[in-house]
Structure 1
């Protein structure tokens, strides 16, 4: 259930575009702050669908509902709104939040068939007498340059999120692992293949890696729903990375291998409504986007 409970009315159709705002908030104006503030704030003074901050992304209103975010009837009725938070705080934090916002907007464009262009990616100051998005306009060189930059970055993220993954090489090392999936439990182990389910709307809750025949070590970290980041250290054969029996999905995972003599252990995950991510040796997944990781795949390169 949304925080704002449809107070601005139902849209009755898919959004046709997205407004990107800056919140004019301090370093303390993170997602946790807005989660509390919106419940006492007079909503008629304004609110957005999403608040993208350093700690997480807060969804304050369902996509199917309107929001009072731009002082313009067409904008409020037909567009989603994404607030880039902490815009009066540290520049590095703000730019990181801004990039997370582009990732979110890209996923929404994919979801609703929106093509990023001058008419679909909007700035608040285009339709209302305001400086918003003030920090973005300041650092990107004015309204026109900022809008062009927004569209460019969103297109890049759409390309990344929709890219067809290349076929991974068959592993020469017996890299066996298995996934624990919501509603199914532990699934059969795979050797360098897909562990989990795709398209079944089931969350990946944990994985185990068979370490018995591997001649290298793996250390793991995972971001667990409602629990935050957990460090599992160097794992053993029976180490459960994640949780089982608690109904908590794994939101992101990092697997680092030691002793591979120049090779790398890489990971990719399949995310609900987004698809397969890129291959990486770092942390991968989503945090605060309320998207299930459905499957995971490992490879040695």
Structure 2
């Protein structure tokens, strides 16, 4: 699927506060970008309130659900929603590790482009994880693969584990910013 900019059929509020960074999510589903588009593009507001990110990304493509100038409801937290862009790494429940890693890489590429556009430097303040804003296991699959922390068994990770994953994400995003 090529990048789509046919946003959801609902007008999200424009961001009035400065953009502070990005939040990386794992979607906790088996859906790819095309399937998420079908589920969300004409969904009712009640569905969006449950959570919706700016981007849905897999190794075969991406769907941008919301313009980056608008707020998304992706962190269950006012600052996270209003001042951070949300990126869903897809197929966290259905892909092999190799496929999921490719989905992550595509996500890092998109994030790098947006960080360049918004003049943001990848660091621990600008690159956040969903669980830093609300009580969740997200990004569960990324934790498992990169830190061997299983949020379903081990619970919310310690700060050093969170920073370990963030440092990996930051290094990957920086690589795409250099190219």
| Aligned: 1:53 with 2:55 | no
> Which residue of structure 2 lines up, in the alignment, with residue 132 of structure 1?
138
The number of residue pairs the alignment matches comes to: 157
**Residue aligned with 2:138, SS:** coil
d(CA) in 1 for partners of 2:63, 2:167: 26
d(CA) in 2 for partners of 1:115, 1:55: 27
| Aligned: 1:153 with 2:163 | no
d(CA) in 2 for partners of 1:17, 1:137: 20
What are the within-5 Å matches in structure 2 for residues 255-266 of structure 1? none
> How far apart are 1:14 and its partner, in Å?
5.3
Q: Which runs of 5+ in 1 are unaligned?
A: 161-301
d(CA) in 1 for partners of 2:9, 2:16: 17
- Does structure 2 conserve the Cα–Cα contact (< 8 Å) formed by 1:63 and 1:80? yes
What are the within-5 Å matches in structure 2 for residues 180-191 of structure 1? none
> How far apart are 1:4 and its partner, in Å?
4.7
> Which residue of structure 2 lines up, in the alignment, with residue 2 of structure 1?
7
> Which residue of structure 1 lines up, in the alignment, with residue 98 of structure 2?
92
> Which residue of structure 1 lines up, in the alignment, with residue 163 of structure 2?
144
Q: Which has the higher contact order (CA 8 A, sep 6+)?
A: 2
- Does structure 2 conserve the Cα–Cα contact (< 8 Å) formed by 1:20 and 1:122? yes
Superposition RMSD in Å: 1.4
**Residue aligned with 1:24, SS:** coil
**Residue aligned with 1:74, SS:** helix
Q: Which residue of the other structure, out of 20, 27, 45, is the alignment partner of 1:23?
A: 27
**Between Structure 1 and Structure 2, whose CA radius of gyration is higher?**
1
- Does structure 2 conserve the Cα–Cα contact (< 8 Å) formed by 1:18 and 1:120? yes
Q: Which residue of the other structure, out of 39, 43, 46, is the alignment partner of 1:40?
A: 43
Task: Provide the TM-score with structure 2 as the length reference.
Answer: 0.83
d(CA) in 1 for partners of 2:64, 2:9: 10
Q: Which residue of the other structure, out of 85, 105, 109, is the alignment partner of 1:103?
A: 109
> Which residue of structure 2 lines up, in the alignment, with residue 115 of structure 1?
121
d(CA) in 2 for partners of 1:2, 1:114: 24
> How far apart are 1:54 and its partner, in Å?
3.2
Task: Provide the TM-score with structure 1 as the length reference.
Answer: 0.50
- Does structure 2 conserve the Cα–Cα contact (< 8 Å) formed by 1:6 and 1:62? no
Which structure has the highest helix share of the two? 2
> Which residue of structure 2 lines up, in the alignment, with residue 11 of structure 1?
15
d(CA) in 2 for partners of 1:157, 1:33: 27
- Does structure 1 conserve the Cα–Cα contact (< 8 Å) formed by 2:124 and 2:163? no
Q: Which runs of 5+ in 2 are unaligned?
A: 1-5, 148-160
